[in-house]
């Protein structure tokens, strides 16, 4: 497997080889009509690229795939660290990621009432306040490591609690009631 940055050797169509992109050779921009482009080392221009996280949950800031817009989604390569892109590109990628990944991170649990296994709670998240109904809580929780949990509510929305231990005491106590 190609380990260095930069274009991998071999045919560009070689789908078995991972191409790691150098942040310096990637540019992301919009034209005057607002259409999104990504260019790779002057050799390749992708119209309406999609930026997909390789590890959206466990390592969201690293390993970003640049993929074509079609459903087939041709993979143009991976960025190990997209934050090293130039400023304009970085801002656009950040906006695109923010748009694609709706991933509210819970900062505080404002209230939680348990009605025989169905919990109605209000989360204070990085995207604002939200009331969520948690049904079968224990069946709808994913443990990522020992202190991080992902809750899915009755409507299919997910909430990330990055570190249960770091929540305030009241939030922790409320969470303990349903977990």
Smallest gap from Cβ 95 to another protein, in A, equals 9
Distance (Å, whole) CA 6 – CA 177:
51
Q: Which is nearer to another protein, 129 or 166 (CB)?
A: 129
Smallest gap from Cβ 150 to another protein, in A, equals 11
Smallest gap from Cβ 71 to another protein, in A, equals 6
Tokens coding 5: 């940055």
Which residues would be at the binding site for another protein (CB under 8 A)?
33-35, 56, 71, 98-104, 115-118, 120, 125, 127-130, 133, 135-136, 138-140, 153-158, 176-177, 179
Distance (Å, whole) CA 26 – CA 38:
7
Smallest gap from Cβ 4 to another protein, in A, equals 30
Q: Which is nearer to another protein, 3 or 138 (CB)?
A: 138
Contacts 24+ apart (CB under 8 A), 118-122: 118/154, 119/177, 119/178, 121/174
Q: Which is nearer to another protein, 41 or 162 (CB)?
A: 162
State how far the alpha carbon of 27 is from the alpha carbons of 39, 54, 125, 154, 178, in Å: 5, 20, 32, 40, 47
């Amino acid at each position: 497997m190609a380990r260095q940055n930069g274009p991998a050797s071999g045919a560009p169509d070689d789908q078995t080889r991972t191409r790691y992109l150098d942040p310096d050779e990637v540019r992301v921009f919009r034209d005057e009509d607002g259409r999104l482009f990504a260019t790779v080392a002057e050799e390749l221009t992708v119209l309406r690229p999609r930026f997909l996280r390789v590890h959206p949950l466990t390592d969201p800031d690293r390993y970003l795939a640049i993929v074509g817009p079609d459903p087939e989604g041709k993979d143009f390569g991976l960025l190990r660290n997209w934050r090293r892109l130039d400023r304009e590109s970085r801002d656009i990628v950040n906006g695109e990621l923010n748009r694609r990944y709706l991933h509210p991170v819970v900062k505080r649990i404002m209230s939680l009432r348990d009605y025989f296994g169905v919990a109605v709670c209000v989360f204070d998240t990085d995207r604002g306040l939200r009331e969520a109904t948690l049904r079968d809580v224990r069946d709808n929780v994913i443990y990522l490591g020992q202190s991080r949990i992902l809750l899915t509510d009755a409507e299919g929305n997910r909430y990330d609690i990055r570190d249960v231990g770091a929540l305030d005491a009241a939030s922790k106590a409320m969470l303990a009631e349903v977990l």
